[in-house]
Structure 1
Amino acid sequence: MGEDGGQNVEAYYYGACLTQAVHSIFKALEIEKYRLSGCPFVISFTGGGGKTSLIRRMAWEGRELGLKVLVIPTTHMALPEHFFVPEPSVGALEQTLKDSGIAVAGNPEERKPGEKKISFWGWEFYQQAREKADLVLVEADGAKRLPVKVPGPAEPVIPGDTDLILCVYGLKALGQKGEKCCFRMEQAKTLLGESFSLDKEDREWAMEEKYMACLMKQGYLSPLKQSFPQARILPVFNQADTGELVLAGKRILEQIGHTEGLITGNLWKEPSFELF
């Protein structure tokens, strides 16, 4: 992974069993197995708990493999410090990809004082821009920096040509009060009320493994599978920075009953953490 090594990240791929940690998310997800030569491979990131950190890491790995990597939001993401293309110019984007290997494209805006974001340039630009890249990483959801989310109406915003959808939750939500760690509380309480008879007026409930499994499955995995039957859809449990949290992620994946998933940790230690 270059001179900096990039060996702090730990990624566990969960299929028939939990594998030994590897230091490449590309390797853990077997991206090269699914990516067709000559075609842009599109990955959409949904949920909360470290989507942008995961995007940075995968952009880093993609560039290390010689791929041209486009990062683009269909909702909003933080204004990047590097590789930014501030105008809907396919020519400028193509030049940035050629010069740097990574381009981040979005409409700069200040949604409130001191909060600089970028937003979506629109589907016409997206279709033109994707053709210039080998790997397209789409920030397709917003969670107000909270580790858990249940999507609201018209969320997430996923391109129809997506090959892989990663549904991300942050394991550090475990043990926190729901109102402190979960975005879209009304939707979350509805799902948990149906499955666990959780009182909607209970403001003291804390995030448990079984609740996180339920919200991931009912909020993201099941509905997205219906909407995107052609895509590979994986749960990702991020922030597994300790052995205890790795085991918690494994138990949650087992409770979901999904055939495959990913557990990641220590992304904040990576040189990719400040990539853009």
Structure 2
Amino acid sequence: MSTDRVQREEASPQEQEISLLVDKPPRDYENHLTPPAGTLSSRSIETITVFDNKDITEVTSGQTVTRANLTWRPEVYKYATNARPDEPDFEKRGGEIYIILVHGGIARARGTSSAIGYEYMQTIKVPPSVIPVKQYPASGSGSQSGDNWSYRIGFKQSMSMFNNGGNSMFDFVASYVEDFVRIKAQQRGAETNDGIYFSVSLDPFIYTGEWPVIGLSIFKCLDTNFPITFTFGASAGQRRDDIYTPDASISKDVDIDFDFTVS
């Protein structure tokens, strides 16, 4: 399971009044993203720390104000499909490199209230050689029950991959399922021209609390020019008339590499 998919200890009545409760553990969870041992891509799996207990701050009236605190640790899965990546005609043979990120971590709001609610967004920007394929869960996909919203990540794709030292092909079915609940909050997510975004929007007047970072991002590229620089960003802001405006933000470049060695 991705990092920090745990429920917070029961809060006091006073704390419950002012806090966004952390999500319940997932009702349904399956991770079948790791290919069998001996697969060309089986060594191309890693967990990266983008931000570790990092404050998102802005300067207001000469004072530094912390809007949020974030730990963000995606699990990164990389797959070479349809053609061996060490072949010079990789793209002509229909070769594709898929990069899947399973997001984990914990986010914390820091004492900001609003009549329209505050939104906490995370983004990934990629170079033109990388194609954003899908962000789960998508905006508008949640199911409301009272003040809470339920979401489901359901990904499944068959990929032609290589084993036996890169000499044999087989079909690997990569899949990932996770149900989760946002309490007094909604989650948005979508692909953009140069990446993806996902966010958690708190209900009005909810001004402190914590929640797990949950989401799944899929990218692909048609060439083998690695490493590729992904720019991870996080911000806190507000949405008016469906336009999100950040008040404070942070970003970090991370190089995503791929081991093309065929053994």
For the aligned pair, the TM-score class normalised by the smaller chain equals under 0.3
- Give the structure-2-normalised TM-score: 0.27
> Comparing both structures, which one devotes a greater share of its residues to strand?
2
| Structure (1 or 2) with the larger CA radius of gyration | 2
TM-score (norm 1): 0.26
